[in-house]
Amino acid sequence: MAGTGQILIPLLTGLADAAGLFFVASGLTVIFGVTRVVNFAHGSLTMLGAYCGWSLISRLPPTPLGFALGALATMAILAVIGAGLEIGLLRRVYRAPELFQLLATFGVVLMAQDIVQWLWGVEDLALRRPPWLRAFVTLGGARFPRFDLVVIALFPLVFLLLWLLFTRTRWGRLVRAATEDREMVAALGVDQRLLFTSVFALGAALAGLGGVLMLPDASANLGMDLTTVTDAFVVVVVGGLGSLPGAALASLLIGLLQAFGIMLVPRATLALVFVVMAVVLVLRPNGLLGRPPGRDGGGGEARALVRPAPAVLRRFGLAVLVLAALAPLFLGPYALAVGTEMLIAMLFAASLHFMMGPGGMASFGHAAWFGIGAYASAFAVHLLAAPMPLGLLLAPLAAGATAALFGAFVVRLSGVYLAMLTLAFAQIVWAIAFQWVDLTGGDNGILGVWPARWAAGPRGFYWLALALAVAGTLGLRVILAAPFGHALRGARDSRRRAEAIGLPVTAIQLAAFALSGAQAGLAGGLYAYAKGSVFPTYISLGHSVDALLMVLLGGVATMSGPIVGALAYTGLYDVLLSATSLWRLVLGAAIIVLVLAAPEGIAGGALKLWQRVRPA
């Protein structure tokens, strides 16, 4: 009977995984459907659920009833936290552009990490497992944890309860109506604020349930926020944003795929999920059960024009540049190393800004191109024994070529789906770097990527980085002012109108995507030589998020935004890191304050101030 077990056990494991995915993803999809907020903090809510659950359940009697009570209490606590988050923060940014809501939720992610660490410490917290939690059932000759059977049973139960809630109650009908057209719901006399707050509370409670149910098999840990939210995004996007049945279906698909994939292709499990997501999005751009996006601005929105910088700003920029070029004469090696990192960050942010701002394509996976550039340089050194100039040439070429290849799929989508597909590709690249140990060294990375002798000192490399970063950033600026840049912005503002006047929109966007990838690759190559090593973390979601934060902090609508944002972010990061152990708390709070106070970013806010001081 061992044969049955070989199929049955992965099947059950897959179902248990699917259940866990569903609890978290259902909350995320419902929140997105109604509020249109891409809630990056959803993973943080799951993490909070796991930690709260651990604290409660550890203090309750070690019985099934105690566990159930602890889980329900956790859901209640998370519902309150979710409602508080909605009232305190998100309610104030609903009118802001989508990306600023995202930025605000990133701020929450950062703050939550430090708050959780401060309250519960850095150790992973595993639940003490009483006999009933350790129990196994024997199925087809193999053993399977009994608790996971409970989790599997909860999947259809929770789905059914949610289904009844959404179809049989007036609240549920209001939520479904608001998912389609929240403006019309308001015009019919429904107070959206109550609706949004309650939806957020429900979503957070579901995230909490997902967190608690992870405890018996795993533990509460500080990394689970980003891993959970990445998985949940995949489920929500594959299922179709805002679709509850879609989330259930996608959870099943991905849970089972992971369970069987580990048997079939054990070395590619990490990439498998994202490959599936990419395939689904390419075949069904709105997910399995998603609808085409409903009513939105329609593309007639007036945006800030790209104008040549005013003379004052140019003179200021030139002065800064001269100062930066002379810096090595009076700065020490540490300051120069920081300066080099800032310059690389600037190029990285400028490349993301190029596709996000003028290109209108927000990327959640921009670190992919940075990482490909870095690895290309490392391979050039180790496999080809190539000199540094060749390595630095290969970096943008490799990244640009890969971006052109992936971009062909990406530019067919728009909005959140586009951002998710870039995330999927980045995760695939990351998984390859992480799992293809023979080639990449896996987690240990590739060491010994040293620069040529003429650029080996901190001064020499600083000047090299300055030359390449400034040339790259200004190059992008020049392209934006050229006819290609006009066409790109035209395509962003209205794809259909741009097509109607004969612009090859897809080709233009693809070119912009590849160019942006190439510049990010150059930044990655520089970084590899600056650090002397490359690691999979260069491609991690966290690094992509760094780039997003830089661009959004600086302001998407201004050309100087990414420069200011990169310098502010890396500067703030370095200062905070050395000043306080709670740097994420401070950085997150700073981001949130900035979103509330200056939704145009630092450079955008400064521009507004400037215009107020000097009316045109």
Partner 1 sequence: MTAETALLAVEDLATFYGRAQILHGIAFTCGAGEVVVLLGRNGAGKSTTMKSLIGLLRPAQGRITFAGTDITGAEPHRIARLGLGYVPEERRVFAGLSVAENLDIGRQAPRPGLAPWTPARLYTLFPNLAAARDRAAGQMSGGEQQMLAIARTLMGNPRLVLLDEPSEGLSPLIVEHMAAAILALKAEGVGIVLAEQNLHFAERLGDRAVVIEKGSAVWAGSLAALAADDAARQRFLAVGVET
Please report whether residue 474 would count as binding partner 1 according to CB under 8 A.
Answer: no
Choose, by CB under 8 A, the member of 91, 92, 284, 291 that binds partner 1.
Answer: 291
Interacting span for partner 1 (CB under 8 A) from 184-192, 246-254, 429-437, 499-507: 184-192
Q: How far apart are the first and last CA of the chain?
A: 83
Please report whether residue 443 would count as binding partner 1 according to CB under 8 A.
Answer: no
Beta bridge partners of 175: none
Rounded Cα distance between 573 and 203, Å, is: 32
Rule CB under 8 A: which of 209-268 touch partner 1?
none
H/E run at residue 145: strand 142-145
> Nearest approach, Cβ of 593 to partner 1 (angstroms)?
26
307 vs 453 by CB, closer to partner 1:
307
CB of 271 closer than 8 Å to CB of 432: yes
173 vs 315 by CB, closer to partner 1:
173
Please report whether residue 187 would count as binding partner 1 according to CB under 8 A.
Answer: yes
Rounded Cα distance between 565 and 553, Å, is: 5
Please report whether residue 296 would count as binding partner 1 according to CB under 8 A.
Answer: no
Interacting span for partner 1 (CB under 8 A) from 190-198, 358-366, 367-375, 445-453: 190-198
Please report whether residue 170 would count as binding partner 1 according to CB under 8 A.
Answer: yes
Nearest to 233 by CA among 71, 27, 447: 27
Please report whether residue 493 would count as binding partner 1 according to CB under 8 A.
Answer: no
Rounded Cα distance between 472 and 393, Å, is: 13
Rounded Cα distance between 562 and 604, Å, is: 11
150 vs 186 by CB, closer to partner 1:
186
45 vs 241 by CB, closer to partner 1:
241
Rounded Cα distance between 185 and 177, Å, is: 7
Hey, is 605 helix, strand or coil? helix
CB of 98 closer than 8 Å to CB of 38: yes
Please report whether residue 301 would count as binding partner 1 according to CB under 8 A.
Answer: yes
Please report whether residue 174 would count as binding partner 1 according to CB under 8 A.
Answer: yes
HSE-up (13 A, CA, CB side) for residue 518: 19
> Nearest approach, Cβ of 193 to partner 1 (angstroms)?
9
Please report whether residue 286 would count as binding partner 1 according to CB under 8 A.
Answer: no
Number of residues that bind partner 1 (CB under 8 A): 21
Choose, by CB under 8 A, the member of 184, 264, 471, 507 that binds partner 1.
Answer: 184
Rounded Cα distance between 312 and 306, Å, is: 16
Please report whether residue 181 would count as binding partner 1 according to CB under 8 A.
Answer: yes
51 vs 196 by CB, closer to partner 1:
196
CB of 419 closer than 8 Å to CB of 410: no
Q: Which two tokens stand for residue 31?
A: 């929140």
Rounded Cα distance between 240 and 281, Å, is: 10
Please report whether residue 189 would count as binding partner 1 according to CB under 8 A.
Answer: yes
191 vs 296 by CB, closer to partner 1:
191
Q: Rule CB under 8 A: which residues touch partner 1? A: 170, 173-174, 176-177, 180-181, 183-192, 291, 295, 301-302
